[in-house]
Structure 1
Amino acid sequence: MSERVVEKVNMTFIAAIVAVATIGGFMFGYDSGVINGTQKGLESAFDLGRLGIGVNVGAILVGSSIGAFVAGRLSDRIGRRGVMMLAAVLFLVSALLAGAAGSSEIFIIARIIGGLGVGAASVISPVYISEVTPASVRGRLSSIQQVMIITGLTGAFVANFALARYAGGSTADFWLGYPAWRWMFWLQAIPAAIYFLALLGIPESPRYLVARGHIERAQAVLTRLFGATEAERKVAEIRASLAADHHRPRLSDLLDKASGKVRPIVWTGIGLAVFQQLVGINVVFYYGATLWEAVGFSEDYALQTNILSGVLSIGACLATILLVDRIGRKPLLLIGSAGMAVTLAVVSYAFSTAVTDAAGAVSLPGNNGVIALVAANLYVVFFNMSWGPIMWVMLGEMFPNQIRGSGLAIAGFAQWMANAAISVSFPSLAVSPGLAVTYTGYALFAAISFFFVRAMVHETKGRELEDMEG
């Protein structure tokens, strides 16, 4: 973009839009992280075993996979903002119902409803941001989504810790006679309501408006964003990018017309989405407290460790915001893959030394507890400076206009299915074959992801969305 165009960009308006859109990321993070400190409450309230805990924790992922798949296509019908507003309503309903659940079945339904919102927000917020921001800063602004996801996770960790500390434990009674773990869910209703109200004040995506034939509305939005002259040029570019194959977006667009095979760009999107989960990051997010207690940490210290991981994650994401539009997406992914492979291997080694005393208490001998803690947090840093934000940045911008909604539907569905596979399997894998072998598997996936990026991922830094090819 030329200097003449950049001078006309209304960055104040763009920043306000991004701030509202990324509340969806905060909700995504809070809804995903709140479960971390509630598992003792769920066990006692619903008499759950390991499999039951896995199912209750993983229930959100069923909804998330469906939400991600449906949201991409639905956003082509009711708009990006319309889907985000629907997600806000789902977050609110889920928060109230999960906290009030009287049985495991009701709780699972509540978490599936929340998952629908999480899945929708996870794919639509980055798309919306990419469609209203200039190419020169698109990666930076899209990365804020991950900052907000981690902020939501950390917010959930802090709220869980504070409620458990004040009540005397997550299962102890708190306000109005309800146990603290229920209030951990009910607190989510506050940001959910704020999200819905804030969405009323932002415009619809101009690229969606052009695709639906609302040219005047699109031009009005683009004029507020970039000025009248640039608005005319962008409307013409968007129309031209759609004109070559102008029909309503559909899933069959993901197939190459000449060969009948799935377009390579779709496989790249699926690969990015799946590898982001196969490195095991959500084991830390969902089971962090349980994980550290399993190797000898107290509940209070394990919850504090979660907060430390969250703070480090936010710092890593802020570093990405400074780097993503300077050195590009692909180099950050490669650095992240290499760093995660090494740190996960160290965590695996530390866990392999765990010992059990006569009373059945588990601990890591010598300095291995410190080594595991440092390596695990370095792993979190590498993830959140690379695969955490960059995967969402790339999914939001790498697909051509015609297939963006459909491409996101497939990639988002794959991402949440991989998330479900990792998250639901972890409680059983932690027992057999054990933490050391499980983390070795995550390390191997991190190593494989390095070679996947080298072979399949193409740089998108500085490119206009209308120039993306599939």
Structure 2
Amino acid sequence: MAHDGPVADTPSIYDDEEGSGRGIIRIASVAALGGLLFGYDSAVINGAVESIRHEYDVKEAVLGFAVASALLGAAAGAMLAGRIADRIGRLKVMKIAAVLFLLSAFVTGWAPNLEILVLGRVIGGFGVGVASVIAPAYIAETSPARIRGRLGSLQQLAIVLGIFASLLVDWLLAEMAGGAGEDLWLGWEAWRWMFLAMAIPALVYGVLASTIPESPRYLIMNHKIPEARVILSKLLGETNLDIKIDRIRLSLERETKPSWRDLKGSNGKVLTIVWVGLLLSIFQQAVGINVIFYYSNTLWQAVGFDESQSFGISVFTSFLNIATTLIAIALIDRVGRKPLLLVGSTGMIVTLGTMALCFANATGSGSDVSLEGAWGPIALVAANLFVVAFGMSWGPVTWVLLGEMFPNRIRGAALSLAAAGQWAANWAITVSFPPLAKFSLPFSYGMYTMFAVLSLVFVLKMVNETKGKALEDMDPDNPAPVLGGH
């Protein structure tokens, strides 16, 4: 099955250039706005979970499926994004994602039954999956190696800003209505307006995507040399322009059509680097980070906080996520990718283990659980420190590594496979949490702690540093520089 990946299968066109700093940062920032819709669409469900449960009278397993349904669409979108992007261009794919977000906002906000709501979530999820591939792909393709880590981190910054914005909007709408399930405007409950509000960032993303240039590599690949020359001139100036164009054209002539078959080595087995990327994606989700952003309101209400307090806690947590992502952006090209992952895994082991201990000392069970005495504040602090540990490491670093770690020949197919694996893992964790929480919260958080331990071992054994390396250094015939057991 052929797969045309959107990531530059050639080196970044700026790897040996200083580039037009502000211009490159601006186009990377706009591309990363897809992450804002990604974060908003993912987290908006948090404020509506309990209202959906009561509106449609659903049990834990069905509720988990409804919350996670967007992730099924996201996995499909991630798998198809590369093929679509190489056929119609990177910018058109961004605009399609914006339209899908917009459509999802209206379908989920209007949904007369759970089936329509799930359909709306799947539509939005498809847009999320497309955006999750096209943004790091476009950024990696157009960024200089010296700042590629920071620009790649803009995707995660946009995601956490989207999460913060959605939780803040959820909280404000619930406060205005006197509760998420209460009527707000036009006889519609506040939780429906939470979904409808997604139309605003969707429109902004669609408009701004019209202000950035198409990838010069895509234009040259499609023999649109004059258009590529104009864009390269604006970004790099006129110096050595013909050399840059010839370099891209020559590399395109050398490469073959990306295919899933490329993911296998000469021995017929899947390349180790492909497994590394896939496991990197899976571990990012397996530690349970999105349980915090999808279910935190329900979780904090279950252990004794009221709805308003739970909204406030969720907003504060998402603000912490932004702050720690900014720290990661400042450090990733100085400290490197691997050290941040190791520190993050260690922090997640401690904080998740603490939460498991707290819930092991809870009284009651299922929805009647409560944390007495100091256990409630300790769990609250541990949950927020878990977000800090994740936000300064696995959150942004995973996206950066996926954009740059694969050899040129397999980058497109491998990135889409890894992104799809990430969404599948996200779905599994999200859909399983309500029944697991009803069964045992200590078991749930003990499981996430175990995954954090495994993530630490995985990074130590399988992930090597890519800081400062040009994309051409990820040699398809010699992938060892980005692999290894040291």
TMscore range, shorter length: over 0.9
Runs of 4+ aligned structure 1 residues displaced above 6 Å come to: none
1:390 aligns with 2:397: yes
Residue 362 of structure 2 is matched in structure 1 by: 354
| Percent of paired sites with the same residue | 49
Question: 5+ residue gaps in structure 2?
Answer: 1-11, 477-486
Tell me if structure 1 keeps the 8 A contact 2:150–2:332.
yes
Aligned mates of 1:167, 1:63 — CA distance in 2: 31
Aligned mates of 2:142, 2:219 — CA distance in 1: 12
Residue 129 of structure 1 is matched in structure 2 by: 139
Aligned mates of 2:441, 2:452 — CA distance in 1: 17
Which of 297, 302, 327 in structure 2 is aligned with 1:319?
327
What is the correspondence of 1:43-192 to structure 2 with a 5 Å cutoff? 43-192=53-202
Residue 223 of structure 1 is matched in structure 2 by: 233
Tell me if structure 1 keeps the 8 A contact 2:72–2:427.
yes
Residue 447 of structure 1 is matched in structure 2 by: 453
Aligned mates of 2:118, 2:240 — CA distance in 1: 49
| Cα deviation digits, residues 378-404 of structure 1 (max 9, x gap) | 110110111101111111122233322
- Residue identity opposite 1:333 in structure 2: L
**Residue 101 to residue 411, structure 1, CA distance change in 2 (3 Å):** same
Tell me if structure 2 keeps the 8 A contact 1:97–1:110.
yes
Aligned length: 463
Residue 401 of structure 1 is matched in structure 2 by: 408
- Residue identity opposite 2:317 in structure 1: S
Tell me if structure 1 keeps the 8 A contact 2:15–2:145.
no
| Cα deviation digits, residues 27-71 of structure 1 (max 9, x gap) | 000000100000122122222121221111011011011111111
Residue 26 of structure 2 is matched in structure 1 by: 16
Range with greater deviation from structure 2 (261-270 or 282-291): 261-270
Aligned mates of 2:411, 2:222 — CA distance in 1: 14
Residue 388 of structure 2 is matched in structure 1 by: 381
Residue 256 of structure 2 is matched in structure 1 by: 247
Residue 263 of structure 1 is matched in structure 2 by: 271
Residue 42 of structure 1 is matched in structure 2 by: 52
Residue 364 of structure 1 is matched in structure 2 by: 371
Question: 5+ residue gaps in structure 1?
Answer: none
Aligned mates of 1:341, 1:234 — CA distance in 2: 47
**Residue 271 to residue 168, structure 1, CA distance change in 2 (3 Å):** same
Residue 288 of structure 1 is matched in structure 2 by: 296
CA-CA distance at 1:214 after TM superposition: 3.6
Range with greater deviation from structure 2 (94-103 or 291-300): 291-300
Aligned mates of 1:279, 1:221 — CA distance in 2: 42
- Residue identity opposite 2:101 in structure 1: F
1:410 aligns with 2:420: no
Aligned mates of 1:118, 1:164 — CA distance in 2: 25
Tell me if structure 2 keeps the 8 A contact 1:343–1:378.
yes
Secondary structure of the corresponding residue to residue 239 of structure 2: helix
Aligned mates of 2:217, 2:389 — CA distance in 1: 33
Tell me if structure 2 keeps the 8 A contact 1:355–1:362.
yes
Range with greater deviation from structure 2 (42-51 or 294-303): 42-51
Residue 196 of structure 1 is matched in structure 2 by: 206
**Residue 264 to residue 218, structure 1, CA distance change in 2 (3 Å):** farther
- TM-score under structure 1 length normalisation: 0.94
- Residue identity opposite 1:274 in structure 2: I
- TM-score under structure 2 length normalisation: 0.91
Tell me if structure 1 keeps the 8 A contact 2:15–2:470.
no
Aligned mates of 2:288, 2:168 — CA distance in 1: 22
Aligned mates of 2:240, 2:126 — CA distance in 1: 37
Residue 469 of structure 2 is matched in structure 1 by: 463
**Residue 308 to residue 77, structure 1, CA distance change in 2 (3 Å):** same
1:309 aligns with 2:317: yes
| Cα deviation digits, residues 164-216 of structure 1 (max 9, x gap) | 01100001000111110000000100110111111111112223334444444
Aligned mates of 2:244, 2:384 — CA distance in 1: 43
CA-CA distance at 1:119 after TM superposition: 0.8
Tell me if structure 1 keeps the 8 A contact 2:53–2:63.
yes
| Cα deviation digits, residues 286-313 of structure 1 (max 9, x gap) | 1111111121111111111101111100
Tell me if structure 1 keeps the 8 A contact 2:36–2:162.
yes
CA-CA distance at 1:457 after TM superposition: 1.5
Tell me if structure 1 keeps the 8 A contact 2:337–2:467.
yes
